[in-house]
Amino acid sequence: MMRQQITALVRKFSSFTYLNITQFLGAMNDNIYKLLTIYFFIQMEGIENSHIVLATTGAIYVMPFLLLSSSAGILADRYSKRNILILTKMLELVIISSGLFAFAYSSKIGSYCILFFLAVHSVLFSPSKYGILPELLPPERISKANGIMTSFTYLAIILGTFLASFLLDITGRNFIIASMFCVVLSIIGLTASLCIQYTPPSGSRKKLDIHFISDIYQTLKWAKKEPSLLAAILGSAFFLFLGAYVQLNMIPFAVQSLGLTDVQGGYLFLLTAIGIGTGSIIAGKMSGNRVELALTPLAGVGITISFFALDMLAQNIFAVVPLVMIIGVFGGIYLIPLDSYVQVSSPKQNIGQAVAATTFLSFLGVLFASILLYVLSELFGLQAHQGFAIIGSLTLAITVVYTFLFFDYLTRFLGMILSRIHFRTTSTGTENIPEAPALYVCTHTAWNDTLLMLGAQRRRMRFFIEHEQEHSKWLKRLYRLLRVVLIPEIESLENNPACLTAIKNTLEKGISVCIFISDPNVSKEFDKLKHAHLVREILQDKRCPLVAVHIEKGEKDKKPRFFRRLLNKCRVPASISFEAVSWEDTSTGSGVDSNRSQIYRLRAESKAIPPHEQEAY
């Protein structure tokens, strides 16, 4: 009876909640102990050697991530991720308890060994922590869950950074008493991990291989075949490089530019961690039920500007405080879409290996950050604030690259924003918008039809428009930006092999296609496409969905109410309807005609556009 009551009490909270508690306490423990070790060595070596201490501890901490990431990913794919989480928490308790003796005997070698094995625990924990999310949650909750988990991770960093400094302050720099707090946290984390529901192994039979570099290479090789997956892995790794450099450089920056102590400099990094947690929540909210990769290059611009501003205003603490927090906010917005995409886009049996490869590259970035800190400060003699300017230049270059890599995502996101600003849209038949790439056919009325299509669905889209008229220069530039393909009027689509091949290749890349036609008879266009061999081939092989779309726009509200006046003056009422079409129905066109009738009925019932606004816009 007692056992049933305990089980019922435990199950009042979800497994995701217990997972979050487990990783939260683990991240806090890692940061407290790592900072205690750094302060311990700075006390022994002197504040003037802080950059050497930080570079050395950073390099030692990162080595297990480079040596064991691939093996940790294989373990996560072969065995129950929940069981791995429990075993690693047990290992953490043993390691943290051993750290008491290293501090008690003032052993540098012992402290370095404890730091190394604490990193071993973290690298074994990481692939299972992220890989278990798709096993505990439905796909539509992954982005939000990542946002929550990342925000709690950086909340743990915030509290860990604060507590490391605070515990030393209140104990008179007594490292033994301070590390006892870590033992308590480890016990609580182990208890929480026991409450996570069991998850079966994912079915991988891949064996451990000491040639881990080869494993990482093979993982990246198959990741390259998945759309944007390799870019997401590399982008996530670059973020940890940035985060590591900011954390390592913050104490020298606080001492040199602001005249603070090393412990006070540790407090300063709290603001960056708070910003990352805040940005993670913002990214989760903005992404909604889908992964929004467009946020990454946009956030990269914000990070770049903030780094340059931090260099120019390094002496002004009133400017530094908000800037280091803003860097964190943009960092959180940058990271969440990338990590979510890695989890969602990786094949189920390879999620652990994908996360492990990301972890390996991320901590390779941490190692580079440690090396860069040493090179810039020791070899080139640069001040800490100048290092931020160099990192800003590097971030600018990476942002430019990712703007091109994620260009389709970026234009879709910006098109969605413009659509919501320019239109008051009523959508019907949205349940017919498929998750997979689809072929949409829509009657083209004006240039802003593209904005409506981008705003109405969340997948990347390429437009093919009949070139029935000469367009203005600015419209040609817009179409070029959206990568619109203009179909010559003198050559119909079904007789244009270049356009048909482009449509086929676009769909195979996982990008939806929208064909804008001038003929209001959509069924006629479907009947033409039926006879196009290339399109029919991919529609049959890939089972690509067909969707008929109808767009109707009204006039701007000339006399809006007071509180909506400014917004409504530039917004146009519009309705957009989606109707799924089976490929077999197009043989006679009757299916499309009935579907089109259904569109008109839905549009009439929605009453999205009043009769007096039915004129073409």
- pLDDT tens digit sequence for 52-102: 888 888 888 888 877 887 778 788 888 888 889 999 999 999 999 998 888
Bridge partners of 579, per DSSP, are 548
Model confidence band, residue 326 (pLDDT cutoffs 50, 70, 90): very high
Same domain, 398 and 436: no
Domain boundary among 379, 405, 431: 405
| Residue 2 placed within a domain | no
pLDDT for 562 equals 52
Residues 160 and 130 in one domain: yes
**pLDDT at residue number 591:** 47
Q: State the pLDDT at residue 293.
A: 87
Mean pLDDT of 239-256: 87
Q: Report the C-alpha dihedral over residues 152, 156, 158, 161, rounded to 10 degrees.
A: -170
Question: What pLDDT score was predicted for residue 616?
Answer: 34
Query: Which of 26-30, 166-170, 216-220, 492-496 is predicted most confidently?
Result: 26-30
| Band of pLDDT at residue 394, cut at 50, 70 and 90 | very high
Q: Does residue 22 or residue 419 have the better pLDDT? A: 22
The reported pLDDT for the residue numbered 482 is 67
Q: Are 564 and 453 contained in the same domain? A: yes
Q: Is residue 242 part of a domain?
A: yes
Is the model's pLDDT at 299 over the cut of 80? yes
Q: What is the pLDDT of residue 327?
A: 93
Place of tokens 């984390």: 189
- Which pLDDT does position 554 carry in this prediction? 66
- Do 182 and 231 belong to one domain? yes
Confidence grade of residue 608 (pLDDT, cut at 50, 70, 90): very low
pLDDT category of residue 164 using cuts at 50, 70 and 90: confident
309 pLDDT higher than 90? yes
CA pair distance 29, 564, nearest whole angstrom:
51
Q: Mapping DSSP to helix (H, G, I), strand (E, B) and coil, where does residue 445 land?
A: coil
Strand 546-553 to 572-581 pairing = antiparallel
- More confident of the two residues 1 and 92: 92
**Shared-domain flag, residues 437 and 395:** no
**In the predicted structure, residue 499 carries a pLDDT above the cut 80:** no
Query: Is the pLDDT at 598 greater than 70, yes or no?
Result: no
Q: Are 485 and 395 within one domain?
A: no
Give me the chain's average pLDDT, please. 79
> What pLDDT was estimated at residue 398?
94
User: Residue holding tokens 């943290």?
Assistant: 96
Helix or strand holding residue 573 (H, E): strand 572-581
Verify that 351 and 423 share a domain, yes or no. no
Look at residues 463, 356, 425 and name the one whose alpha carbon lies nearest to residue 617.
Answer: 425
Q: What is the CATH number of the domain that holds 18?
A: 1.20.1250.20
Rounded average pLDDT over 90-115 = 89
What's residue 589's pLDDT? 46
Residue bearing the bigger pLDDT, 137 or 473: 137
Domain assignment present for residue 229? The answer is yes
Q: Which of 193-202, 283-292, 303-312 has the lowest mean pLDDT?
A: 283-292
Last residue of a domain, one of 338, 371, 405: 405
- pLDDT at res. 605: 43
Q: Is residue 6 in some structural domain? A: no
What confidence score (pLDDT) does residue 492 get? 61
Q: Is residue 81 part of a domain?
A: yes
CB of 199 within 8 A of CB of 80?
yes
* Structure-derived torsion over alpha carbons of residues 357, 152, 245, 55, reported in degrees to the nearest 10: -80
What is the domain range of residue 356? Answer: 12-196+209-405
On the 0-12 / 13-18 / 19+ scale of CB atoms within 10 A, 18 is: buried
Distance CA 54, CA 31 (A): 13
Tell me, what amino acid is at 212? Answer: F
Report the pLDDT value the prediction gives residue 540, as an integer from 0 to 100: 63
The pLDDT of residue 393 is above 90: yes
Buried b (16+ CB within 10 A) or exposed e, 585-612: bbeebebbbebbeebeebbeeeebbeee
Percentage above 90 pLDDT, the chain: 13
Query: Domain total for the chain?
Result: 2
The percent of residues above 70 in pLDDT, for the chain, comes to: 79
- Report the pLDDT value the prediction gives residue 210, as an integer from 0 to 100: 65
**Hey, how many other C-beta atoms are within 10 angstroms of the C-beta on 390?**
16
Q: What are the tens digits of pLDDT across the range 327-374?
A: 999 998 998 888 888 877 777 777 777 877 887 888 888 888 888 988
**329 and 424 together in one domain:** no
pTM of the model: 0.72
In a domain, 436, yes or no: yes
Does 164 lie in the same domain as 17?
A: yes
User: pLDDT at residue 33 above 60?
Assistant: yes
Residues 237 and 126 in one domain: yes
Q: Say yes or no: 129 and 261 in one domain.
A: yes
Residue 448 domain-assigned (yes or no): yes
Q: How do residues 513-565 score in pLDDT, each as one tens digit?
A: 888 877 676 666 666 666 666 666 666 655 677 888 888 776 665 555 555 55
What tens digit of pLDDT does each residue of 436-450 get? 788 888 877 777 788
Residue where a domain terminates, one of 353, 381, 405: 405
300 has a pLDDT exceeding 90: yes
| Residue 440 resides in a domain | yes
Q: Are residues 119 and 88 in the same domain?
A: yes
Q: Comparing 182-191, 266-275, 291-300, 472-481, which segment has the lowest mean pLDDT?
A: 472-481
Which has the higher per-residue pLDDT, 22 or 484?
22
Of residues 406 and 565, more confidently modeled: 406
Predicted pLDDT of residue 158: 77
Query: 184 pLDDT exceeds 60?
Result: yes
Task: Please name every residue paired with 580 in a beta bridge, in sequence order, or none if there are none.
Answer: 547
